[in-house]
Structure 1
Amino acid sequence: MRLRYIDLTKGLAILLMLWGHTMTSVNSVHLWIYSFHMPIFFIICGILLRLKEEENNGEYHLANIIIRRLYTAGIPYFIFGFVLAGFYSVLNILAHQPISLGSRLFKVFTFQGIDYLWFLPAYVFADIVALCIEDISNAHIKKYLRIIVTSVALFIACFLQSYMTVWYFDILYKVVLGICFIEIGILISKYRIIEKLPLWGTVLFLLIGIICSQVNGEVEMSPTKIGNPAIYFPCAIITSIAIMRLFKMIEDKKWTLLKYMEEYGKNTIVLLVTNNLIIEIVRLFDYKLFGNILIKLGMIGSIIFTSFLIVAEWLIIKISKGPFSPIFGYIKRGKR
């Protein structure tokens, strides 16, 4: 199922992620980006899950969907996890530091992920939980199970953060947060909030989200790092709703910028698994050749860096459509 405003939203979110990764200091823009740029993908997952259920009248092959999820996310996760593990080991050698290959491979195999690769297993596991609930035929059982699972997930997310510092609990916590946001997405779709929100409400949501992000400070989808849960969840939710509503309003426009944004949104996994590799290569060359000029330039350097990444990722997207498509998890039409 392809919805243009969803692809546009994903495109903006993934490009903002790139921008956030190029920043070397925390600023107001960084705080705003990190307040929603990962939760929004889980919210979108919930929206699409609900829409697909309506489209298929609640009937779909759960096993096939789960296998597809594992393939499209698992293949790029492991391939680029191994690549990053090897790459960082080479950097260790160049810097005359202890080689970290073993510890990084451990992170890959235990689904902790290297850098932002943590997102893929957390997303898939949370999605599978939501899919299994949706597959229940009895409406009453489905309703009560959803309430129980969401309530437990929210309780863990809000009150058990300090107990989630061990690596396997860290994974569980990210999945739990994902489940919470997926269920929020299901509710957003159920009550047609994206379609009904007026323009003044959209602007208000954006302003409140910006203010809340500054109040809550630096956050991540990790235990003890979401700040105040009473601010974190509403901030991520209303900002996501506002951005999706804006794109919903303009999705019929034929602007060239929107076409590019849409293409990035259709290939978020490509950007997710390659951005850290490109970023570290650029930083290495910047350090060796220009004495960290991008860092010294501050926000201007970050914008220049991000502009280069956007172009580089566009080229990688084009490459990913060819013979290398399997390593990015693409499935040819007609195959499961």
Structure 2
Amino acid sequence: MPQARFDFIDQAKAIGIVLVILGHAPGIPAGLVTWIYSFHMPLFFFLSGFLLNQRKLAMAPGAYLGQLLRTLGLPYLLFFAASYAYWLATRHLGARAAKFAGVSWQDPLFGWLSGIGSEIIVNVTLWFFPCLITTAFLYHLARKAMGASAALLVCAVLGGLDAGYAGHLPARLPWGLDNAWAALAFYAFGQWLRVRPLALDGPARLPLAAGALLSAALSALLADLNGRVDLNYANFGTYPVLYFPTALGGIAAVLGTASLMPSNGLSTWLARHTLLLFPSHTIVINFLSGLGKLVFRLPESFFTTPWFGLIGLAGAIAACLPLAYLVRQTAHLGRLRWARSAP
């Protein structure tokens, strides 16, 4: 398939990562946060499934798992190490001292091993990496046994069961084995839609964009009815039956908006650096909050205003510039060392 068909994906990823950052930024209105949470993570699982190509589907399960561990497991390890170092250096400062009182230095290590978001206290957003690894591998196994349509049906059923019963489990399961089933439904839907004749980045742009506003309104209405959800915590709201239609409405709204947006440098850059922005933005927002409180002595009320939320968004994006440069340089040095040592 020609890559031009998927130009809208960059815009969708850019919108998605901005919504993720806003959802974690203090001061953003509660109603908006509830709506963002209703679909922002399902959106990323949908996009991940959409971008799955035939070459990866054809890989042997062991080889594919190895690739997942390299492309997602390694960033999970590196960002955990960076978050852990920051946590060790700041856990005794300000309000964090009370928050982490009684937490030993090794407790976060158990959270990293489990991959359970609530236990990764140094950076809760890291839950996405092990959950995506599990989700992608489960889908890969499913496709070895059946086609895209059958896999979507099976994954949708499993996702519905997960939404209905995950909250009743006596304990959380490691590496997304309790919430990856719901994520799997969105992942399968993304892959199923990719192989449909309908081209989202072609003739279907206008009707999809026309429905974006309606989709956004309906999903916001359902989100308000269902209450705050959080895929990380396997919390599917007051009425779990509403979780999937609400999330799909939000996804449709983002895709419709993305289909209207022309290709531009900012959205391309944001899309390219999503995996850097996703795990780093909470640290940046926490740092800016500490800087404002401890150094500039700003009033506590300032940090509960939308202004600080927007500062957090801008700061997270700005901080990604040197981080991206550092990653590029590290990768470049790694390639040079490999080339020099190669026979």
Please indicate, yes or no, whether the TM-score normalized by the shorter chain is above 0.5. yes
> Would the aligned equivalents of 2:23 and 2:37 in 1 still touch at CA under 8 Å?
yes
Mapping of residues 207-218 of structure 1, within 5 Å: 207-218=217-228
Q: Which amino acid counterpart does residue 29 of structure 1 have in structure 2?
A: L
> Would the aligned equivalents of 2:152 and 2:192 in 1 still touch at CA under 8 Å?
no
Counterpart residue number, 2:211:
201
Counterpart residue number, 2:181:
176
**Equivalent of residue 317 in structure 2, options 310, 317, 324:** 310
Cα deviation 1:79-127 (Å, max 9, x = unaligned): 2213323322333334383343221110001112421000110011101
Counterpart residue number, 2:106:
102
Q: Which amino acid counterpart does residue 103 of structure 1 have in structure 2?
A: D
Q: 1:200 to 1:146 in 2, by over 3 A?
A: closer
Counterpart residue number, 2:281:
275
Secondary structure of the corresponding residue to residue 173 of structure 1: coil
2:12 paired with 1:12: no
Cα deviation 1:242-278 (Å, max 9, x = unaligned): 312332243xx35xxx311221111211112222222
Mean Cα deviation higher: 189-198 or 35-44: 189-198
Cα deviation 1:177-232 (Å, max 9, x = unaligned): 11111122233334437353613323221221222222222211022343422222
**Equivalent of residue 242 in structure 1, options 242, 253, 260:** 253
Q: Which amino acid counterpart does residue 274 of structure 2 have in structure 1?
A: T
**Equivalent of residue 220 in structure 1, options 230, 241, 244:** 230
Q: Which amino acid counterpart does residue 259 of structure 2 have in structure 1?
A: K
Q: Aligned partners of 2:40, 2:92: CA distance in 1, in Å? A: 34
**Equivalent of residue 21 in structure 1, options 10, 16, 24:** 24
Counterpart residue number, 1:89:
88
Question: Displacement of 1:322 after TM fit?
Answer: 1.6
Q: Which amino acid counterpart does residue 223 of structure 2 have in structure 1?
A: S
**Equivalent of residue 323 in structure 1, options 319, 330, 340:** 330
Q: Aligned partners of 1:36, 1:145: CA distance in 2, in Å? A: 22
Counterpart residue number, 1:131:
140
Q: Aligned partners of 1:163, 1:154: CA distance in 2, in Å? A: 14
Q: Aligned partners of 1:246, 1:224: CA distance in 2, in Å? A: 27
Q: 1:292 to 1:134 in 2, by over 3 A?
A: farther
Cα deviation 1:131-151 (Å, max 9, x = unaligned): 122234x65xx7656544542
Counterpart residue number, 1:68:
67
- Number of equivalences: 315
Q: 1:193 to 1:226 in 2, by over 3 A?
A: farther
Question: Displacement of 1:21 after TM fit?
Answer: 1.4
Point out where structure 2 has 5 or more consecutive residues left out of the alignment. Answer: none
> Would the aligned equivalents of 1:202 and 1:245 in 2 still touch at CA under 8 Å?
yes
> Would the aligned equivalents of 1:209 and 1:235 in 2 still touch at CA under 8 Å?
yes
Q: 1:22 to 1:324 in 2, by over 3 A?
A: farther
2:41 paired with 1:34: no
Secondary structure of the corresponding residue to residue 207 of structure 1: helix
2:263 paired with 1:263: no
- TM-score (normalised: structure 2): 0.80
Q: Aligned partners of 1:36, 1:295: CA distance in 2, in Å? A: 29
> Would the aligned equivalents of 1:270 and 1:320 in 2 still touch at CA under 8 Å?
no
> Would the aligned equivalents of 1:194 and 1:241 in 2 still touch at CA under 8 Å?
no
Counterpart residue number, 2:244:
233
> Would the aligned equivalents of 2:134 and 2:177 in 1 still touch at CA under 8 Å?
no
Question: Displacement of 1:236 after TM fit?
Answer: 1.1
Q: 1:13 to 1:325 in 2, by over 3 A?
A: farther
> Would the aligned equivalents of 1:164 and 1:170 in 2 still touch at CA under 8 Å?
no
Counterpart residue number, 1:284:
290
Cα deviation 1:140-170 (Å, max 9, x = unaligned): xx7656544542332122x213323513278
- TM-score (normalised: structure 1): 0.82
Q: 1:30 to 1:5 in 2, by over 3 A?
A: same
Q: Aligned partners of 1:219, 1:57: CA distance in 2, in Å? A: 32
Q: Aligned partners of 2:181, 2:76: CA distance in 1, in Å? A: 20
Q: Aligned partners of 2:288, 2:200: CA distance in 1, in Å? A: 39
Percentage identity across paired residues of the two chains: 19
Q: Which amino acid counterpart does residue 216 of structure 1 have in structure 2?
A: N
> Would the aligned equivalents of 2:14 and 2:268 in 1 still touch at CA under 8 Å?
yes
> Would the aligned equivalents of 2:17 and 2:274 in 1 still touch at CA under 8 Å?
yes
